[in-house]
Structures are given as structure tokens and as C-alpha cells.
Amino acid sequence: MSLFDFDRAIVRAPGRSVTDGLRTGDHDGPSYDGVAAEHAAYVAALESAGLTVEILPPLEAFPDSMFVEDPALLFGQGAILLRPGAPSRIGEAELLRPTLKRHFPELIEIKDGFADGGDILVTADKVMIGLSDRTDIRGAQSVARGLGRLGIRAQLVETPSDVLHFKTACAMLDEETVAVTAELDSAEYFGDLRRLRIPEGEEAAANLLRLNDVVLIGAEFPRTRELVEALGLATMPLAVAEIGKIDAGLSCMSLRWKSAKEQ
């Protein structure tokens, strides 16, 4: 499967309720204007990378619904409708259904357990599904069966207990290299893949996002950016301070795929 070859994306505009989004720790939430500005810059970055972006309207009843990666998983050959593990997000997938049905002839629905897209990492030869507080074993196994219907191999792994989502702490940079925080810097997770260790203090940079030939990365993580550029990759820094207050990163805000007719 192609890891970084994308021409389409779906995003959802943030609602004003985003200020009440889920977050860990005792800190202030984001401002709506701050999130809206970061989201607009993100959409512009997707378009700059060559993607056609469909922007869905905000859902005020679901404060976290701008993070569209969690309720679905997309490939050129089909889509999987997931079941987010947070009770306040369980209705988001159903509201994505009409949009996904317009784009994908095959829509597989997970009906057993819970699974967040933030726990699902696509590599060159398989899809890794991290078990976490948001993705349980039944949900992960359901996702694995759905992937099997699409001809894709799955591997279940344990997400460290202090990591919210598996992809909070890792992201693919090329087909042989994965960016990781200290918690995931182990061959037990990634086998023969080359691991690029995120510098201490910049752990939130691990949720970076490569689109075609450019890597989107948080603007406040200069050391990580230097390491990525040392691999010969172009980077595009984006503000993530406000979305970071609700435990989100760059991959969370879009669903991306290569349309089948172009493959």
C-alpha cells in the first residue's frame, strides 16, 4: 500500500463547543478563535500539499468532532467506520456515514468493541492497532477483520499506559522510518523499521503528518524539525498550541486517501 500518496481529504470545521473538548491533566482549554485559526491553516496546508479538501460543517453536540480521524479509517479500496472509545464521541461515526458512502463503494462498519483511528498506524506492509483506553481488544479485533476484507494485514500492539493514543507517540516518515517518543523506541514495536527518536521535551511532535512529499510538523518543535529535514524531507511548520490543549495533533484533523481512479 502507498503510505503517503494522497489526493483527497475530509475535515470537519470546529464548533464553538470545541472549548469543551476532552483533555487530560489540569489545564485551561483552548480558545475557539485559536482552534479555528489553526484549523484553517491546516486546511491550507493540505491543499498546498496537493489534496482536494472537503470541509464538513461543525457539530456543536460533539466538541471533539473536528478530529475526524478517530471515527473512520480510509483506503483507496474502501473505508472502515470505527467506534470511538470516549462515550461523548460515540455518535460521531454515524454522522460521517453519508459522506463516506458518497466516496467509497465499500463501507465496513465496526459494531463490536471500541476503536479510535488515533490508535491505528499504517505502515508499508501492515496496519498496527494499538490497544489503549480508547481502543479495546474487541474493537481492535473487529478492525483487524475489516482490514482483512480489504486485503490488508493487521497487528495488535499494547499502547503504553501513559500514552493516550498509539499515534500520540509515533508517525511514519518514510516506508522504512518511524518517528517515536521514548515510550515506543523499541524493536518490540517496530521490528526492523528505522526509528527516529523525538527529542526530550518535544514529545508532542511525534504526531506529525507526511502528505506526499512534505511533512507537517508542529511549529514549536524545532529540534524535531531539524531531525526530519536531516533525512532529506521537506517540512511545513504549523501552529498546534491550541489543539494541543485538547490532546490532539496533526493527523487527528483529517481523513486522507488516494482516490481509486488515480491509483
pLDDT digits (tens, 9 = 90+) for 198-217: 999 999 999 999 999 999 99
Grid cell at residue 205: 511532535
The mean pLDDT value for 62-83 works out to: 96
The grid coordinates of residue 108 equal 465496513
C-alpha cell recorded at residue 139: 474493537
According to the model, what pLDDT value does residue 172 have? 98
**Active site members:** 165, 252
pTM of the model: 0.95
pLDDT value for 29 = 86
Q: What pLDDT is recorded for position 1? A: 53
* 173 grid coordinates: 516518515
pLDDT above 50 (res 262): no
263 band by pLDDT with thresholds 50, 70 and 90: very low
- Strand ranges across the sheet with 127-131: 120-122, 127-131, 154-158
| Tens of pLDDT, residues 91-131 | 999 999 999 999 998 899 999 999 999 999 999 999 999 99
Give the separation between CA 36 and CA 213, rounded to whole angstroms.
26
DSSP letters spanning 60-111:
TT-TTTT-TTTTEEEETTEEEE-B-SSGGGTTHHHHHHHHHHHH-S-EEE--
With b for 16 or more beta-carbon neighbours within 10 A and e for fewer, the 40-62 pattern comes to eebbebbeebebebeebebbeeb
- Report whether pLDDT(27) > 70: no
137 CB-side CA count, 13 A: 1
pLDDT over threshold 50, residue 146:
yes
d(CA 70, CA 34): 22
What pLDDT is stored for residue 261 in this prediction?
62
